[in-house]
A and B are shown apart, each in its own frame.
Chain A
Amino acid sequence: MIQEALLKLLEEDARLSDRQIAARLGTSEEEVASSRAELEQQGRIVGYQTIVNDDSIGVAAFIEVRCTPEQEGGFNRLAERIARFDEVRSCFLMSGGYDLLVMVEAKDLMGVAKFVTDKLSSMGGVLSTSTHFRLKTYKLNGLMFDVPSSSERISVAP
């Protein structure tokens, strides 16, 4: 079972080739390819993306949404409806004081405002929203932003 090891490597660097991964895990390229395919099929690997530092370009907001659950399916239908909007980058069902946490990206402040007023709050079932704007990203998907690489080791040591 190389799947967990494979995931760990890919989560750190999705650009590694099957050949590189095979060498690192001491297995064959075929084994890596088939494990990867299996993980994709299972939906465990959802996609491969690049982590971009866009703090200084776009605007992002985390919106807490309270809504009424439906008799059948609870929050699912509404959550999926919200998640389908292009502006929505992530959407989670939460425990606690609100129901959905929706992360939205837009070109500017007005973009976010428009999304919240025109689309989100007017949606049937949405009771209230509370919008928090991102000011600065320190860490995303396990990667630290803007940290100068740690101090140099001396190149020859006992």
Chain B
Amino acid sequence: MDWNHTLSRQIAQLPRSGIREFFDLVIGSKGIISLGVGEPDFVTPWHVREAAIYSLEKGHTTYTSNYGLESLRRAISQYVQDFFHVEYDPTCEILPTVGVSQAIDLALRCLLNPGDEVLYHEPGYVSYAPTVSMTYAHATPIQTSIDDLFALSPQKLEEAISPATKVLMLNFPTNPTGSIAPLGTLKKIADICRKHDIFVLTDEIYSELRYDGETHTSIASLPGMKERTLLLHGFSKAFAMTGMRLGYACGPRELIDLMVKIHSYTMICPSITSQEAGIEALKNGKPAMEEMRDSYHRRRDYIVKRFNEMGMDCHMPGGAFYTFPSVKRFGLSSRDFALRLLKEQKVAAVPGTAFGSCGEGYLRCCYATGFNLLEQACDKMAHFCESLQSQQTCV
């Protein structure tokens, strides 16, 4: 078989995920403490699992409408209104999907023509640029830095806009930096999008996980933004439901309509079991969610303090469950630092470069890991930093 001829060039040329590369290294080693995960360490709350089991018990094992269960859409509509303060019509402006992942894919395919340009901020979630490339459009990163606490600078956004720019992808709180966009910044971004007629795809999957005392504001809730924004949210992070594969998109009916077209051909619907579990999470999941959030909060405070004590400069991230400490002062690249940390101390953290080239000099460390393990990981990392520092002074 001539694979060069047989396989899609577009897909074959996509770069492999940097996370994937690191995963292959970690998978071979034993006794690792991993700060490299991107999911909660909690099991889905029992009442939600129980709802899934009950759904199966009742024999609910069929397809649902392509729009998902009406009761789920109504629950989403209520939740989104309470939490984000934006109203969406459950009959035509909400689409339950197989995770935010599928919603991103559907949205981009429905928005983009070959040659269109999508802007997104880096360091950012690994799937954005490849998913844009799969539509034959072009993804252009806008670099963020510690100077803006990794929030998108409105000025840099304005500078990056070209005649081909059609969509802006946002993700606050951000994977991998945990950063949030201050309200003032968000408003300026909204102004720019309205001025240049740019559509916004906002992935707010971490929005419940905020620890800075501020309430989360969605760009969709700002004046004049609802009609040019697709709000993506899901159950994976706040409700610890990654394995249930359930998310949703809320936005203008014209776009949702088109997304349902692809969805009806390629997915049909998320599993009915997950949909029924999702209803339970939205209706009764708040106490469990808040308990998990508070637990992440304590761990964030702990790990950031430890990192700074060991000489890794680390800003206090406002949300999600990631820290993004700098390793610049140790004179190693992110990748070398991560590889040696893995080899010498058996602690896995993801090199910042997996999330874009401007992640060089940083590591993504996820603190959604039991406190005992976090303590051990920090002790090992402190030891490692000390040994690097003493090597440096010897040279």
Q: Are B38 and A158 in contact (CB under 8 A)?
A: yes
Q: Are A155 and B19 in contact (CB under 8 A)?
A: no
Shortest C-beta distance, A3 to chain B (Å), equals: 15
Q: Are A156 and B127 in contact (CB under 8 A)?
A: no
Q: Are B34 and A158 in contact (CB under 8 A)?
A: no
B36 interface neighbour in A20, A24, A156, Cβ under 8 Å: A156
Question: Which of under 10, 10 to 19, 20 to 34, or 35 or more describes the interface residues of B?
Answer: 20 to 34
B162 within 8 Å of A (CB atoms): no
Closest-by-CB residue of A relative to B22 is A156
Task: Give A20-35 interface residues, CB cut-off 8 Å to B.
Answer: 20, 23-26
Q: Using Cβ atoms and an 8 Å threshold, which residues of chain B touch A25?
A: 298
Q: Using Cβ atoms and an 8 Å threshold, which residues of chain B touch A150?
A: 43
A57 within 8 Å of B (CB atoms): no
Q: Are B34 and A155 in contact (CB under 8 A)?
A: yes
Task: Give A123-158 interface residues, CB cut-off 8 Å to B.
Answer: 150, 153-158
Q: Are A155 and B298 in contact (CB under 8 A)?
A: no
B371 within 8 Å of A (CB atoms): yes
A155 to B305, CA, bound (A): 24
A155 to B29, CA, bound (A): 11
**Residues of B contacting A: mostly:** mixed
A153 to B302, CA, bound (A): 22
Contact string against A for B residues 1-41, beta-carbon threshold 8 Å, 1 for contact and 0 otherwise: 00000000000000001010011001100001010111101
Shortest C-beta distance, B348 to chain A (Å), equals: 6
Give the total of A residues in contact with B, Cβ under 8 Å. Answer: 12
B23 interface neighbour in A20, A23, A153, A154, Cβ under 8 Å: A154
A158 to B39, CA, bound (A): 8
Q: Using Cβ atoms and an 8 Å threshold, which residues of chain A touch B36?
A: 155-157
Q: Are B41 and A20 in contact (CB under 8 A)?
A: no
Q: Are B350 and A156 in contact (CB under 8 A)?
A: yes
Q: Are A153 and B43 in contact (CB under 8 A)?
A: no
A150 to B17, CA, bound (A): 28
A79 to B348, CA, bound (A): 56
B112 within 8 Å of A (CB atoms): no
Please give the residue numbers on chain B whose beta carbons come within 8 Å of chain A beta carbons, in ascending order. Answer: 17, 19, 22-23, 26-27, 32, 34, 36-39, 41, 43, 125-127, 175, 298, 301-302, 305-306, 348, 350, 371, 375
Please give the residue numbers on chain A whose beta carbons come within 8 Å of chain B beta carbons, in ascending order. Answer: 20, 23-26, 150, 153-158
Q: A23-B305, A25-B298 are in contact. List 7 more A-B contacts (CB 8 A).
A: A26-B302, A153-B37, A155-B26, A155-B37, A156-B34, A158-B19, A158-B127
18 CB contacts below 8 A, A to B, read A20-B375, A23-B302, A24-B302, A25-B298, A26-B298, A26-B301, A155-B26, A155-B27, A155-B348, A156-B19, A156-B23, A156-B27, A156-B34, A156-B37, A156-B350, A157-B36, A158-B17, A158-B127
